[in-house]
Each structure stands twice: as structure tokens, then as C-alpha cells.
Amino acid sequence: MTAIKETNFKFKGQTGFYRGKVRDVYYFGNRMAMVATDRISAFDVVLPRAIPDKGRVLNQIAALNLSATSNLVPNWVQSTPDPNVTIGFRCETFPVEMVVRGYLSGHAAREYKLGKRLLCGVRLHDGLKENDPLPYPIITPTTKASVGHDEDISREEILKRKLVDEEDYATLEKYALTLFEKGTAMAAEQGLILVDTKYEFGKHDGTIYLIDEVHTPDSSRYFYEKGYRKRQQAGEPQKQLSKEFVRQWLIQNGFQGKEGQVVPEMTDAIVASISDRYRELYEQMTGNKLEPLDSVDILERIEQNIVNSLI
């Protein structure tokens, strides 16, 4: 199958271009077209081979969730003219990510195991086990680093450093918790538990908008609800629905993004297995089958759909 590693379009009226880890963004004044490529990253490293269908899987899951939450929180999307493309407002991004956690998992669990009970200014009580539910969802923000890794930060530090003013930050908190509540309900309908996720926000013409992808397997962690309690009582690892399987394959092959480490060979079989897993993620999260694409020349299709949507 064909995978989109990168795009290099030149559009009439284009005012800028940005290539992120996995997306190519074309600017048109105060609008932007975001192309979800099939590049894949882990440990802040873009892996050498692209994964067929990954981009459209994530873009379509994000589109579904953005549509389902648009009545609760304004978002940046104007249209989704192609399975791999979203077009919307160009926003001035807030320099923090709003991470919401409903369970003690991932980074929070690792910090807790080290004996830390204060995470981003939020107090955690003693006696919790990894993957236990928290009494209520908490917000553990991180900085958005232009270089290097994002870092944990507290509400107090955000306001002290004037990264976000107090009125706007209160809105970000409200929006993040509202979205998490809706995402939790949507996950439950598919037999899933929304464990934690991150939200990004920006401003356009003075209005705060939800931006980027939402509730995808790359931005969120999910557990399967079936068997969760039994596994937790037995102290067993939870069955996850996320990009964690890619990270685990890399770890098993000696790569965690550290200096001197080399990405293991991504054979055709490995690429195919990751692609199959992303298709499974789509079907589990949406309840729909991922239909094969008719178009043979994916790049030509994407380019034409962007042009048509901007006319």
C-alpha cells in the first residue's frame, strides 16, 4: 500500500508552510490546511518509514470527536475535505498543553512510584496503584517546548510566568474538563475507558478555540473496559488502546530515543503490522469499518481536494 511520507504542494494564495513531526501545514492568511501524513513518531523521533493509512485514521477519528464536541467547545475546524486533510482557522497557540488524567497511569504513575505526591501542583493521596482511577479528573499541564521535551508545570507557575492570563486559563481549564467528560462518555459507548489525554488551544479574533487532534490514539490513552476491574485487582497490566504498542516494540529492540541509540529496522512485515493495528484502532474507536480508498494517486487526490475547498 502507498504511504504518504511528505507533501510538497505549492498552492495559489499560499502564505506559508510548516512541517511538523507527522503533519504538513499549509497557511493561507488566517486559514490553514493541515495534512495528516503517514509519518509516525515515538520518543520525539520521526521513524524512518511511513505507515499506510495511519494519517487518515487519526484525521478521521479527530474529525469525529471535533464534530461531536463542537456544541460544547468552539474548535478550529471549518471543513474536512479529504480523509487526510482538515481546514480551519489559523490560531495563535497557547504555550501550554492541558493534560487531563482520570487514572494514575503513564507519566503520572512513574512519578508516583518515585514517591512524588505533588504533580503539577495537584496533590495525590497515598495508597494508589498504577492504573487506579483518581477520585476525579485532574489537570496536569505541560509546557509546549519549541526545542526538546515538554515539561510539567503547575497552574500557579503558568500564571506567575504569564504564559497565559488568569481569565484565559480559567477558560482552558473549564474547556479541558468539559471535553474530558464528553470523551469519557463517547469512549464508554465503544467499551473503552478514557484514561488520559491532552488538549491544545489557541486564539483567533479574540475567541479561544480547541485546536489540533482530539481523543485520538496518538493523543490519548484508553483501556478496554471489559476485564479492567479483574486485571486491576490481580495487579496485571491493563489492555490498552493507544500508540503504546509502537513504543513497546522500539523498547524491546533497544530504542528509547536516547543518544547513541539506533531505530531498529522497520521491515515490510513490521510496517504492515503497525498499519493493521491502526486500522483496528479506527474500527474499535468508531464502531465502523475503515473502507479501502478508491484513489490510487493519494497525493493528487489530497492536492485537488484542498484546492477545491479553498475556491
Q: What is the CATH number of the domain that holds 134?
A: 3.30.470.20
Tell me if 253 is assigned to some domain.
no
Q: Are residues 85 and 104 in the same domain?
A: no
CATH of the domain at 297: 3.30.200.20
Tell me if 284 is assigned to some domain.
yes
Q: Are residues 233 and 100 in the same domain?
A: yes
Compute CA 31 distance to the chain's CA centroid, rounded to the nearest angstrom. Answer: 21
Q: Are residues 139 and 54 in the same domain?
A: no
pTM above 0.85, yes or no: yes
**Over the Cα atoms of the chain, what is R_g?**
20
Query: What rounded mean pLDDT belongs to the chain?
Result: 93
Whether 311 shows a pLDDT value over 80: the answer reads no
**The domain boundary residue, chosen from 241, 260, 293:** 241
Tell me if 256 is assigned to some domain.
no
Q: HEC profile for the chain?
A: CCCCCCCCCCCCCCCEEEECCCEEEEEECCEEEEEECCCCEECCEECCCCCCCHHHHHHHHHHHHHHHHCCCCCECEEEEEECCEEEEECCEECCEEEEEEEECCHHHHHHHHCCCCEECCEECCCCCCCCCEEEEEEECCEECCCCCCCCECCHHHHHHCCCCCHHHHHHHHHHHHHHHHHHHHHHHHCCEEEEEEEEEEEEECCEEEEECCCCCCCCEEEEECCCHHHHHHCCCCCCEECCHHHHHHHHHCCCCCCCCCCCCCCCHHHHHHHHHHHHHHHHHHHCCCCCCCCCCCHHHHHHHHHHHHHC
Q: Are residues 73 and 102 in the same domain?
A: no
Q: Are residues 48 and 181 in the same domain?
A: no
Tell me if 170 is assigned to some domain.
yes
Tell me if 69 is assigned to some domain.
yes
Q: Are residues 79 and 204 in the same domain?
A: no
Tell me if 143 is assigned to some domain.
yes
Query: Which structural domain, as residue segments, surrounds residue 192?
Result: 93-241
How confident is the model over 70-95, as a mean pLDDT? 96
Tell me if 231 is assigned to some domain.
yes
pLDDT at residue number 245: 85
Q: Are residues 81 and 102 in the same domain?
A: no
Tell me if 36 is assigned to some domain.
yes
Q: Are residues 36 and 111 in the same domain?
A: no
Q: Which of 80-94, 155-169, 199-213, 272-286 has the lowest mean pLDDT?
A: 272-286
**The domain boundary residue, chosen from 219, 241, 263:** 241
How do residues 242-261 score in pLDDT, each as one tens digit? Answer: 888 898 899 899 998 888 99
**The domain boundary residue, chosen from 191, 222, 241:** 241
Q: Are residues 133 and 220 in the same domain?
A: yes
Q: Are residues 101 and 226 in the same domain?
A: yes
Q: Are residues 161 and 51 in the same domain?
A: no
How do residues 45-69 score in pLDDT, each as one tens digit? Answer: 899 999 999 999 999 999 999 999 9
Q: What is the count of structural domains for the chain?
A: 2
Whether 292 shows a pLDDT value over 90: the answer reads no
Q: Are residues 126 and 192 in the same domain?
A: yes
